Amino acid sequence: MDTFILELRRRAARWRAEHTQVAPAALALNLQRARIVAPVVAAINLALVIWLGLALTVRTLDDQVFELTLALLLTHLAMGLIFGALGWAARALRHSGHALGSKALPLVMAVLALTFSAGFVALNQLVFPGITTFWMGCMLVAALLYWPPGRSAGVYLAAYAWFFEAVGWSQTNAAVLHANRVNGLAAVAMGWVLSLLLWRNFTNLQMYQKQLESANAELQARQKDLQRLTRLDGLTGLYNRSTFVELTREELARAQRQGSATSILLLDLDLFKHVNDTWGHPAGDAVLKNVAAVANNSVRSTDLVGRLGGEEFIILLPNTTMDAARKLAEKLRANLQRTPTAWEQGLINSTVSVGVASTTAAENRDFDHLYTSADKALYTAKEKGRNRVE
């Protein structure tokens, strides 16, 4: 028994937490339905007012039927006007976004719907002992609006209290009155059960949707990570060779259309093998990361920096002439020379040799030609003593 009670408490706590999460969605849906249902109810009631009005004018009715018809007409008129006002208020709340009004309006609409349905039953008791209208009201309110079980229970209990008194005013037959009150209790019980089932179904769907959205977000994040890994060098975070070549070819095509110059810088660390042999490969990785950071900080935001592999880097300079590229390359070389890599308790000095190549729109050289020219220039820089730009 204790285990059963503990499980009920756990489930109730879980339900309360879920209800809190889905409450905003339920509120929005209730208000949306109120904007649709209220005008429809108003239109139906006004149509009944016209029909009852015609019945009063074109038929000869005895006093009791006349009084009942007039009472029904006035009640339908009141209901139509009230629900018309509720429909207008619901549309106004869509634009104003008033939190309290948005929360209260569907509740007021449900209370009024149950109040009028009980009132119609009370009037009909004069000629008909059934409570079909109240049954329909209980079911429709449950089907149209989503509420937590506690709130819907309060609404249905209040509706039954009004129904209990209302039918007693017009039904004089004690047996019929007792049967109607019992049936009315069954109607509110069935309405509350239906409301509970629909609320739990709505809650489950919302929670599944939240889980699906979370899973989709995680999947998209993983896809972005995978895309990043396939496009970037894992050690330095720079563009890898294939991505750099792809972006360079796109830039060359753009430059050809716009008639601008394009340059590339090919960088190779001097005596990098000596770094690995002296301090180890982890130190060599630190030097490569340092070169990538200095290169990114030395170029413009429109320039692209990539790692071709090993100790070789490449930089794309859009809309840049040979002279401008040579100056930027010299700046980069100097920055690297005076920015040693911090390693353990000391510093690792490193330099680079740089080969520069450029093309104009008139020359229309592709990436392979640019790369070959830059590689030849880099080889010349190595031959002339390293740590220089050619």
- Three-class secondary structure assignment of 226-252: HHHHHHECCCCCCECHHHHHHHHHHHH
Flag the least confident range among 4-13, 36-45, 137-146, 214-223: 4-13
- Is residue 365 in some structural domain? yes
Mean pLDDT score of the chain, rounded to an integer? Answer: 88
For 266-279, what is the mean pLDDT? 90
Q: Are 165 and 258 contained in the same domain? A: no
pLDDT digits 0-9 by tens, 90-120 = 888 877 766 677 788 888 999 999 999 999 9
Rounded to whole angstroms, the Cα distance separating 265 from 335 reads 15
Measured in whole angstroms, how far is the alpha carbon of residue 264 from the centre of its chain? 42
Integer angstrom CA distances of residue 288 from 293, 307, 308, 315 = 9, 10, 12, 15
- Tell me the torsion sign for CA atoms 359, 361, 366, 367: positive
Are 68 and 154 in a shared domain? yes
Question: 223: burial class by Cβ within 10 Å (0-12, 13-18, 19+)?
Answer: exposed
Instruction: Tell me whether residue 142 is in a domain.
Output: yes
R_g (Cα) of the chain, nearest Å: 40
Average of per-residue pLDDT across 163-192: 92
**pLDDT at position 171, please?**
86
pLDDT at 22 over 70: yes
Q: Which two tokens stand for residue 333?
A: 């070389």
Specify whether 283 is located in the same domain as 190: no
**SS3 of residue 260 by DSSP:** coil
Q: How many domains does the chain have?
A: 2
Q: What is the per-residue pLDDT for 268?
A: 92
CATH classification of the domain holding 329: 3.30.70.270
Active site residues: 311
Is the same domain home to 47 and 174?
A: yes
Q: Of the candidates 308, 326, 321, which has an alpha carbon nearest to the alpha carbon of residue 255?
A: 321
Tokens of 356: 């520069």
Lowest mean pLDDT among 23-32, 194-203, 317-326: 23-32
66/254 Cα distance (integer angstroms): 86
Confidence category of residue 248, pLDDT binned at 50, 70, 90: confident
Statement to judge: residues 191 and 315 lie in one domain: no
| Judgement on whether residues 282 and 154 belong to the same structural domain of the protein | no
d(CA 251, CA 99): 52
When pLDDT is cut at 50, 70 and 90, the band that residue 11 belongs to is confident
320-369 per-position pLDDT tens digit:
999 999 999 999 999 999 999 998 878 999 999 999 999 988 888 888 99
The last residue of one of the domains, among 216, 232, 249, is 216
pLDDT in tens, 37-76: 999 999 999 999 999 888 888 767 677 778 888 888 999 9
Element (H, E) at 359: strand 352-359
Instruction: Assign 3-state DSSP to the chain and report helix, strand, coil percentages, each to 5.
Output: 75, 10, 15
SS3 49: helix
Specify whether 180 is located in the same domain as 277: no
Instruction: Name the residue with higher pLDDT: 264 or 220.
Output: 264
- Residue range of the domain that includes 202: 2-216
DSSP state of 345: T
Whether 231 maps to a domain, the answer reads no
Mean pLDDT of 360-386: 90
**pLDDT-based confidence at 227, cuts 50/70/90?**
low
Rounding to the nearest 10 degrees, give the CA dihedral for residues 126, 130, 133, 138.
130
Q: How many CB atoms lie within 10 A of CB 338?
A: 8
Residue 241's pLDDT is 87
Kind of pairing between the strands at 352-359 and 262-269: antiparallel
Looking at the structure, tell me whether residues 67 and 119 fall in a common domain: yes
User: Does 146 lie in the same domain as 16?
Assistant: yes
- What type of residue sits at position 359? T
Same domain (yes/no): 51, 183: yes
In a shared domain, residues 122 and 248: no
- 90 and 139 inside one domain: yes
pTM of the model: 0.60
